[in-house]
Amino acid sequence: MPNFDLTGRVALVTGSSKGIGFSLSKGLAKAGARLVMNGRDEDDLEAAAGTLRATGAQVDTLSFDVTDPAAVREAVNDYERVGQIDILINNAGMQHRGPLEDFETDAFDHLMRTNVNSAFYVGQAVAKHMILRGQGKIINIASVQTALARPGIAPYTASKGAIANLTKGMATDWARLGLNCNAIAPGYFDTPLNAALVADPEFSAWLEKRTPQGRWGNVEELQGAAVFLASDAASFVNGHTLYVDGGITASL
């Protein structure tokens, strides 16, 4: 199916050393894309890249801090001098749990910089080059918390709500310039970010009852959504948040 073929395209995935970012990188590579993997820890990044190269994937690495706008611009512009980024997945993110009334302001600022500012910084830097070419795909990683809230994670919920609206704004400004800007909102997936919840039998039992499909998601189940939104098959999809959540946002 040629509309889903990513051969010859280059995809930058932020925060791709592990978890969802690593799985999305693997999925894009299987669809033919060349990868540009990003992370702050160079050792972890090279290990992840090596794992994918061993499967035959074409992989470059860019180690930069997505919360540093100057570092982002420098890294993106340097790469664009020798290649081009056709697909961007803004995946880098973090979680910090705690009662809202006691949530430290520094922790709130750090979470927002990591989850929201980074998507703006990297999105803007990459979009400037995409706009010159008249085409490009930007995919932001939102969350089931884009639509729903749980106790103890109000700042995270706020950040993921912001990602959905930033995605709409990107589409509104950049669709006319040839870009497709969308988001994927994962439900509850077994990832390092959710390790404490996965290890909690009480929470897992609650989640299985709350989710129509009755289980945690596997990160491989996000790959199809990413390939779709990165491909020509999604040529008229813009400003959309695609929930991949086992039905949890569809039911009470």
Which of the residues 79, 121, 156, 243 is marked catalytic? 156
In angstroms, the CA 212 to CA 201 distance is 18
Q: What is the dihedral of CA 62, 68, 72, 73, to 10 degrees?
A: -150
Q: Which two tokens stand for residue 26?
A: 């693997």
CB < 8 Å & 24+ apart, contacts of 68-74: 68/121, 69/117, 69/121, 72/118, 72/121, 72/122, 72/125, 73/121, 73/125
In angstroms, the CA 26 to CA 220 distance is 9
Amino acid letter, residue 213? Q
- What residues contact residue 107 under an 8 Å CB cut-off, 6+ apart? 96, 98, 155
Q: Which residues of 170-197 are buried (b: 16+ CB within 10 A; e: fewer)?
A: bbeebeeeebbbbbbbbbbbbbeebeeb
Based on the residue annotation, tell me whether 121 is a catalytic residue of this protein: no
Q: Which residue has the tokens 């280059």?
A: 10
Amino acid letter, residue 151? P
Q: Which residues pair with 89 in a beta bridge?
A: 13, 139
Q: Would you name the residues annotated as active-site residues? A: 156
